Amino acid sequence: MKRTSSDWMNRIGRRIKLRDLYILSAVVRWGSMAKAASHLGMSQPAVSEAIASLEAALGVRLLDRYAQGVKSTIYADALLKRGQVVFDELRQGINDIEFLTNPEVGEVRIACAEFLAADLLPRAISQFSQQYPHVIFSVVQQDTTTLENRELQDRVVDLVLARVPKNFIDDDLNVEVLFEDLHCIVAGTTSTWASRRNIALAELADEPWIIPPSSIVEKLLRVEFERRDIRLNVTVNAASILLRSQLLATGRYVSVMPFSLMSGNAKQWSIKALEVDDVHLTPPPISLVTLKRRTLSPVVERFIEHLRTIAKSMVPPSDSEP
């Protein structure tokens, strides 16, 4: 039904309470008014009254009642989707107040791929924490190859670090390129290839390869093999950086790694970038992704500025370097 601006103020705006909206979200989450009441520390009649108040204010049914519990209607889903934004902004407001009262506290929530969590992020967090030791970091691993950014859209995280194509456009997202991150072909330091120079890719065709499956890098590598009309011998499909580095250290495998990851970890992982002739593995750049029309807390803004500073030092190697 259509509401005028007068309806909003007189019939809806003054009658919808954040408390009732929070209760609705709890009921939907637990699928039962009784369970929601228990978790909220309320009586079931009080929960029922809050839901009834919302339904009366909006003029729609928010819950379908069943013998085994309740389920949200399309109206409740629409309301809670917007309500999530309201609660997030309020939480951000409280965080901002805490930050302004004490500029050395706050939380930064990040989603990124594993290879970024293995090098760039530890460096950034370590340096930032030295200056702001009371800032809390929450990091979730995300399959950033899909570009869905679900955690960001749901406001579970403040920012995403991911490979994003330069032509990628999304009306809801801010995408800022941080640095180019080329890939190199690598092997263990005990591998017979580690001491070789000017290796032809065809020489590595029969070696057992470890490849991150369904990745941008896999596609780029296959293009290089197909360009030479040779077959890629994949022995292990694994996205895990830890697993790949452990296997590479045995000296029996060949794989690909980002140069950014190699610069800080090659020695401790006992792996080395090989000098392979005329191979160009240039995936999309590492980018910082945030949500448009969302106010970030001061501490998040400060950490983003810190990431920009670190990114300036992430210079890709020249063509002459392995």
**Phi, psi for residue 51 in degrees, rounded to 5:** -65, -45
- pTM for the full predicted model: 0.67
Residue 1 one-letter amino acid: M
The pLDDT assigned to 45 comes to 92
Return the higher-pLDDT residue of 91 and 314: 91
Exposed/middle/buried for residue 5 (C-beta within 10 Å: 0-12, 13-18, 19+): exposed
Domain 102-178+287-311 class, CATH top level: alpha beta
Does residue 254 register a pLDDT over 80? yes
Contact 99, 105 (CB under 8 A): yes
pLDDT tens digits, 24-68: 999 999 999 999 999 999 999 999 999 998 998 888 999 998 888
**113: phi > 0 → left, psi -120 to 50 → alpha, else beta; which?**
beta
Report residue 99's pLDDT band, with 50, 70 and 90 as the boundaries: confident
Side chain identity at 165, as an amino acid letter? P
Lowest-pLDDT choice from 131-140, 193-202, 258-267? 258-267
Q: Which of 60-64, 96-100, 160-164, 284-288 has the lowest mean pLDDT?
A: 96-100
Give residue 314's identity as a one-letter amino acid code.
M
pLDDT at 104 (0 to 100): 76
User: What count of Cα atoms within 13 Å lies in the side-chain half-sphere of residue 99?
Assistant: 19
Smallest CA-to-CA distance from 264 within 120, 114, 112, 111 is with 120
**195 in helix, strand or coil?**
coil
Highest mean pLDDT among 13-22, 249-258, 306-315 belongs to 249-258
Yes or no: domain 5-84 corresponds to CATH 3.40.50.150: no
pLDDT confidence band for 6 (50 / 70 / 90) = low
Residue 314 or residue 168, greater confidence = 168
Q: Is the pLDDT of residue 220 over 70?
A: yes
Residue 320 has a pLDDT of: 40
- Tell me which residue has tokens 């039904």: 1
pLDDT at 317: 58
DSSP assignment letter at 133 = T
**Dihedral, 219, 221, 227, 228 alpha carbons, nearest 10:** -150
Q: Where are the domains of the chain?
A: 5-84, 102-178+287-311, 183-273
What is the mean predicted confidence (pLDDT) over 242-247?
94
* pLDDT (0 to 100) of residue 76: 92
Identify the band that residue 4 occupies on the pLDDT scale cut at 50, 70 and 90.
low
Question: Tokens 């919302």 appear where?
Answer: 54
Collapsing DSSP to helix, strand or coil, 139 comes out as strand
The answer, yes or no, to whether residue 281 has pLDDT greater than 80, is yes
| Bridge-based pairing state of the strands 209-211 and 134-141 | unpaired
Contact residues for 129 (Cβ-Cβ < 8 A; gap 6+) = 135, 137
pLDDT at 2 over 60: no
- List, edge to edge, every strand of the sheet that includes 134-141: 134-141, 105-112, 159-163, 286-291, 173-179
CB 31 within 8 A of CB 39: no
The better pLDDT of the pair 4, 275 is held by 275
What class is the 183-273 domain? alpha beta
Higher pLDDT, 4 or 266: 266
**Cα(19)–Cα(14) distance, rounded to whole angstroms?**
13
**Domains 5-84 and 183-273 fall in the same CATH topology:** no
Please determine, for residue 1, whether its predicted confidence score (pLDDT) is greater than 60: no
Are the beta carbons of 216 and 283 closer than 8 angstroms?
yes
